Structure 1
Amino acid sequence: MKNKKVSITTAILLTAALTLGASTSIYASSASKVVQATSTDVKRTSAKLVAKGTKIQYTAVPTQSDGQSHDGRILTSTNAGDMLFYDQDGKAAFTLAKNLVPVSDFHDQRALVKDTTTQLYGYINTKGKLAIPCSYVEASSFSEGIAFVKKSKEDNGAFIAVSGKQVTTLERAYDSDFQFSNGLAVAYSANSGKMGYLNTGGDIIIPYKYDYARAFSEKAAVVQDSKGKYGYINPQGKVIISLQYQGAGDFSEGLAPVQNSKGLWGYINMKGKVVIPFQYASADSFSEGLAVVYNKQGKIGYINKQGKMAIVYTKYNKASGFNEGIAVVGVETKTSHTFGYMDTKGRLLTPLQYKQAYPFNEGVAIASTSDQAAVILSKS
């Protein structure tokens, strides 16, 4: 989970060379060295997941999507390379005008689209109707009710509401992904190479002084100083946990994973107190009361917030955090990978039969059965 210095560039924005956001991994774990073994196999449970409707065309998760359902809509790429939205039953949610191409997942009931005739960007609603006209040369997804847009390459841009109304005019250009949390978005200074935070009023309120900075989570953000040490700041820019760690993860459910000088991971609370000792080779943030941890042999298990093993080390060598009571688990080798889903008791809900599997959200999950098809799973 150790963070790396990342430069936020304007290429993150939606331009002709579009790369908005990054697709999520088919597993949520940030550790890459995973080897698992167990003396007992996880047994199938009577609680099953079922496929909704028929198989859908699904070549791969689009780079602008996290592979999950948002506002009841799922962004997909067909065998022919066309982008479209499915509903949660695996049917086309709507038909867009021929000149409109989907660009991103839905956020705040709005999804980005591109007009292929004008090469400009706008936003549709969940019924596929154009809610904000395609009049922007650059645009971001909505977060916390606002999105960044530019009407020309010469202007500095502005923030708009989901209605399309302009709420803030930027007096200068910023290098940011404009994804807000706690009213702040990470921004990058091309001159100094440092990172700070931009507010929704268009001002840098936490100066460019960090070598690395992450989005806020539970009113705390991971930052890194010039010495390579990590700590946490609050939305006012005050250091609330000193920059002392070799690595750090986001706060979730009141706890955050941190790495000490010996390379071991443990968990701290919001006061910086170690509440789960440094003993893991790697560790992820908590989700639904459980967190993935790794021992020195690379084995995966899940602990509860008291640091007790809730799911013993399994045979899987890939695992995600829990979403809606279900986690993605799998076995990956140099030549193959197969994935399935597990409940919070460690019981396998599906066979390891999917080439890719994405986390549950809004009651459904997408799992690829081949390079060209997938199923939408729901709880039975």
Structure 2
Amino acid sequence: MYESAEGFHNGWAVVGKKQKGEDESYEVYINKAGTEMPGVKAGYLNASDFSEGYAFFQKAYDYNKENNDESIYYINTAGKVIFKSESYKFFEHGAFSNGMAAVPNKDGKYGYINTKGELVIPYQYFIPKTQYATVNSIAFSKSGYATVVQDGKTITISKTSK
């Protein structure tokens, strides 16, 4: 039935599927009863686990369509879209951490959204250039701070930074 399955987070798990007669796999979210979340069909490896009640995904590519929507969407556990990213780079998006998620714009600068999907800290930061730095490196800590790069300098910001 499923080609792959992740663990449950906030009541939902990412599972990989392939429809009969299709070459490409895709991912959906299922609850513990095995029911798929309606309206969410992500590309293969393009669905994040839920974190703090939110996840992000990139729609599955449809080879039968001329224009595909490659946007990345943040959703809540009801499947409601709270934010549509302007960047199409899936692995550059951050999971929610302490009520905020780091999101890139099309120029690669990062800002932060809250759980309402509002961009509360504008796009102005970059990920520090270290060997192991990823978007998770700029997540907000429990104490409410994140380490980012602005104008070539590594700085610490708070959740109220503008």
Q: Does TM, normalized by the shorter one, top 0.5? A: yes
- Is the Cα contact below 8 Å between 1:178 and 1:185 reproduced in 2? yes
How far has the Cα of 1:266 moved from its partner?
0.7
Greater RCO structure (CA 8 Å; 6+ sep): 1
1:176 aligns with 2:8: no
Structure 2 counterpart of 1:219, one-letter code: G
1:306 aligns with 2:160: yes
Distance 2:119 2:40 in 1: 29
Structure 1 counterpart of 2:36, one-letter code: I
RMSD of the alignment, in Å?
2.3
Residue deviations 1:72-101, cap 9 Å, x none?
xxxxxxxxxxxxxxxxxxxxxxxxxxxxxx
Match of 1:221 in 2: 55
Structure 1 counterpart of 2:79, one-letter code: G
Distance 1:294 1:236 in 2: 34
Match of 2:94 in 1: 249
Structure 1 counterpart of 2:10, one-letter code: N
Residue deviations 1:185-228, cap 9 Å, x none?
11112344221112111232346621211011121101113443
Distance 1:265 1:224 in 2: 18
Distance 2:28 2:5 in 1: 12
1:230 aligns with 2:99: no
Larger Rg: 1 or 2? 1
- Is the Cα contact below 8 Å between 1:176 and 1:185 reproduced in 2? no
Structure 2 counterpart of 1:290, one-letter code: Y
How far has the Cα of 1:291 moved from its partner?
1.6
1:293 aligns with 2:138: no
Match of 1:194 in 2: 26
Q: 1:181 to 1:206 in 2, by over 3 A?
A: farther
Q: 1:174 to 1:207 in 2, by over 3 A?
A: farther
Structure 2 counterpart of 1:248, one-letter code: H
* Unmatched 5+ stretches in structure 2: 62-68, 128-134
**TM-score, normalisation: structure 2:** 0.71
Distance 1:294 1:269 in 2: 20
How far has the Cα of 1:301 moved from its partner?
3.2
**TM-score, normalisation: structure 1:** 0.33
How far has the Cα of 1:236 moved from its partner?
1.9
Structure 2 counterpart of 1:215, one-letter code: D
How far has the Cα of 1:264 moved from its partner?
0.8
Residue deviations 1:317-352, cap 9 Å, x none?
xxxxxxxxxxxxxxxxxxxxxxxxxxxxxxxxxxxx
How far has the Cα of 1:258 moved from its partner?
0.6
Aligned length: 135
How far has the Cα of 1:234 moved from its partner?
1.5
- Is the Cα contact below 8 Å between 1:229 and 1:244 reproduced in 2? yes
Runs of 4+ with deviation above 6 angstroms: none
Match of 1:263 in 2: 108
How far has the Cα of 1:182 moved from its partner?
1.2
Matches within 5 A, 1:273-284: 273-282=118-127, 284=138
Distance 1:234 1:285 in 2: 19
